[in-house]
């Protein structure tokens, strides 16, 4: 029961079957050149070797603090900035090459931005903004507008009242609904939500999260959900990826990662969430200071200067992202057998 006229069944477009990841990212790099005072040329290692898969029909949460590279990753995935190295496979096909040019990839992968106001053209009505995508993809004008109205209705905005409005005439939550509607106008299979609910008030955030859940079920969507709020990520995600200074520190099922974190950084992030129980307030912060600057990341494990488990070996060896449990991978020497870290589990246990 799709509200979009003649919407193709998302699975009709499926190539590789349910076991093949919808999006497979490997060896993704992006360094930005910066000039520091004194004319020295340096690079910001915004994304520094990131690999992950997005499975069909799941919601992959990406969490991390500022400078961890999550927003750059989002832009790289959408091709809004050019990657230095790495490959994207969409349903098995390399993105940006002849079989899957960016234009056709973007019909299947869409994005919702954090700033609901900046992401809508202030001179276009809500309806025009939503209909723009279908129009430039060859949908006749009237049909595109009808589709826009159907989508507005689907995201909970009565078309009669909202279609002709301008972005500044509606509230933040309503604007974000419009942005969601626009992202769905091209009938994508994958929607990337970059801090899409972070700027909203809590009660509005809850409404939008519910909407996202409904839309996912209705249109068979896959989400990449980027957020700094672990509670929201826990609520909406099937799997969670934790990033630190341009690298993946932990990835796995959200229950495992957020209830029994294997990486000390994930643990610290969780301990930083404010308590909601007045009888049980946080007593001490696990981490001191700010997240370091990705211009000059520490050697070895990037987390070692702030890590409670750090040993000399951590500053020498860069930990690989290794499997520690079902679907659960961690880049921490203390969790990897035979790494040389004193806390590492014995090899036999892992095997």
Partner 1 sequence: MTAPITAASMALDGGVLSAGDAAPEAAFVPSRGFWGHVGHRLVRDPVAMGAGAVILLVVLIAILSPWITPMDPYKGSMLRRLKHVGDATYWLGSDELGRDMISRLMLGSRLSLFIGVTPVLIAFVIGSAIGILAGYVGGWTNTILMRTIDVFFAFPSVLLAIALSGALGAGIFNSIVSLTCVFVPQIARVAESVTTGIRKRDYIDAAKLSGALPLTIMRVQVLGNVVGPIFVYATSLISVSMILASGLSFLGLGVRPPEPEWGLMLNTLRTAIYANPVVAALPGVCIFVVSIAFNLFSDGLRAAMEIRQ
Partner 2 sequence: MSGPMSNPEPAVTLGNLRVAFGKVQVVDGVDLTVERGQAMALIGESGSGKSVTLRAILRLFHEGRSRIEGTILAAGRDVQALSKRQLANFRGGDVSMIFQEPLLAFDPVYTVGQQITEAIRRHEKISKEDARKRALALFERVRIPSPERRLDNYPHEMSGGMRQRAMIALALACRPQVLLADEPTTALDATVQIQVLLLLRELQRDLGLSIIIVTHDLGAAVEVADRIAVMYAGKIVETGTAHQVVLDPHHPYTIGLLRSRAEGALAKGSRLQTIPGSPPDLANRPPGCPFAPRCFLVEERCRQEMPPVAEISPGHKVACWRTEEAAAAYRAGPTPVRAAEPVPA
Binding mask 116-155 for partner 2 (x = CB under 8 A): ----------------------------------------
| Residue closer to partner 2 (CB basis): 94 or 253 | 253
The answer for 138, left when phi > 0, alpha when psi is -120 to 50, beta otherwise, is left
The entry of partner 1, partner 2, none near residue 40 (CB within 5 to 8 angstroms by kind) is none
Burial 270-305 (b: 16+ CB within 10 A, else e): beeeeeeeeeeeeeeeebeeebbebeebeebbbbbe
**Do 74 and 194 contact (CB within 8 A), yes or no?**
yes
Least distance (Å) from partner 1 to the CB of residue 108?
11
Distance CA 50, CA 294 (A): 15
Establish if 15 lies at the interface with partner 1 (CB under 8 A).
Answer: no
Tally: H helices and E strands in the chain: 11, 12
- Binds 53: which of partner 2, partner 1, none (CB < 5-8 Å by kind): none
**Single residue of 35, 278, 348, 351 touching partner 2 by CB under 8 A:** 278
Cβ proximity to partner 1: between 183 and 254 the closer is: 183
Say which entry of partner 2, partner 1, none residue 305 contacts (CB below 5 to 8 A, set by partner kind): none
Integer Cα distance of 205 and 184 in angstroms? 19
The least distance separating partner 2 from the CB of residue 290, rounded to whole angstroms, comes to 4
Task: Look at residue 111 and give the partner it binds from partner 2, partner 1, none, a contact being a CB closer than 5 to 8 Å depending on partner kind.
Answer: partner 1
Whole-angstrom distance, CA of residue 95 vs CA of residue 238: 25
Q: How many CB atoms lie within 10 A of CB 268?
A: 17
Q: Which long-range contacts (CB under 8 A, 24 or more apart) does 341-344 make?
A: 341/309, 341/311, 341/313, 341/314, 342/311, 343/309
Interacting residue with partner 2 among 49, 94, 291, 305 (CB under 8 A): 291
Rounded to whole angstroms, the Cα distance separating 181 from 110 reads: 11
Interface with partner 2, residue 221, by CB under 8 A: no
Q: Is the dihedral of CA 201, 203, 204, 207 positive or negative?
A: positive
Pick one of 33, 168, 281, 349: the residue that binds partner 2 (CB under 8 A): 281
Tell me if 38 contacts partner 2 by CB under 8 A. Answer: no
State the angle between helix axes of 141-154 and 126-136 in degrees (0 to 180), rounded to the nearest 10.
130
Q: Are 44 and 294 in contact (CB under 8 A)?
A: yes
**244 close to 48: Cβ distance less than 8 angstroms:** no
| Cα 93 from Cα 271, distance rounded (Å) | 40
Q: Is 65 among the residues that bind partner 2 (CB under 8 A)?
A: yes
Smallest gap, in angstroms, from Cβ of residue 115 to partner 1?
A: 6
Residues in contact with partner 2, counted by CB under 8 A, come to a total of 48
115 binds partner 2, rule: CB under 8 A: no
Residue 286, helix vs strand vs coil: coil
Q: Contact region for partner 1 (CB under 8 A) — 47-55, 132-140, 257-265, 271-279?
A: 132-140
Q: How far is the CB of 167 from partner 1 (least distance, A)?
A: 8
Q: Contacts with partner 1: how many residues (CB under 8 A)?
A: 55
For partner 2, which stretch binds (CB under 8 A), given 78-86, 110-118, 235-243, 309-317? 235-243
Q: Which stretch binds partner 1 (CB under 8 A): 51-59, 111-119, 225-233, 331-339?
A: 111-119
Residue ranges that bind partner 2, judged by CB under 8 A: 65-66, 171-173, 201-207, 209-210, 213, 228-232, 234-236, 238, 254-255, 268-269, 271-279, 281-282, 284-291, 293
């Amino acid at each position: 029961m799709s509200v979009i006229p003649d919407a193709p069944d998302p699975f009709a477009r499926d190539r590789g079957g349910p076991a093949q990841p919808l999006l497979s990212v490997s060896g993704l790099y992006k360094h930005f050149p910066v000039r520091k005072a004194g004319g020295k040329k340096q690079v910001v290692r915004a994304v520094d070797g990131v690999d992950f898969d997005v499975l069909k029909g799941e919601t992959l949460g990406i969490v991390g603090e500022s400078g961890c590279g999550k927003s750059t990753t989002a832009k790289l995935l959408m091709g809004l900035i050019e990657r230095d190295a790495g490959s994207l496979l969409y349903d098995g096909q390399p993105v940006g090459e002849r079989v899957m040019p960016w234009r056709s990839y973007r019909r299947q992968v869409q994005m919702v931005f954090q700033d609901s106001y900046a992401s809508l053209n202030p001179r276009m009505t809500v309806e025009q903004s939503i209909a723009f995508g279908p129009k430039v993809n060859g949908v006749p004008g009237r049909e595109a507008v009808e589709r826009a109205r159907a989508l507005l209705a689907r995201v909970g905005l009565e078309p009669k009242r909202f279609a002709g409005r301008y972005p500044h005439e509606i509230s933040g939550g309503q604007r974000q609904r419009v942005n969601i509607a626009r992202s769905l106008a091209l009938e994508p299979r994958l929607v990337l939500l970059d801090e899409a609910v972070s700027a909203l008030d809590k009660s509005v955030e809850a409404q939008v999260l519910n909407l996202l859940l409904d839309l996912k079920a209705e249109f068979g969507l896959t989400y990449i959900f980027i957020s700094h709020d672990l509670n929201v990520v826990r609520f909406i995600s099937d799997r969670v990826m934790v990033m630190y200074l341009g690298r993946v520190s932990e990835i796995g099922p959200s229950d495992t990662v957020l209830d029994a974190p294997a990486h000390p950084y994930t643990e610290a992030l969780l301990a930083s969430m404010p308590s909601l129980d007045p009888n049980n307030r946080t007593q001490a912060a696990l981490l001191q200071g700010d997240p370091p600057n990705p211009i000059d990341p520490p050697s070895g494990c990037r987390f070692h200067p702030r890590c409670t488990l750090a040993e000399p070996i951590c500053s020498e060896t860069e930990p690989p992202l290794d499997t520690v449990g079902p679907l659960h991978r961690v880049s921490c020497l203390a969790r990897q057998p035979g790494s040389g870290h004193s806390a590492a589990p014995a090899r036999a246990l892992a095997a």
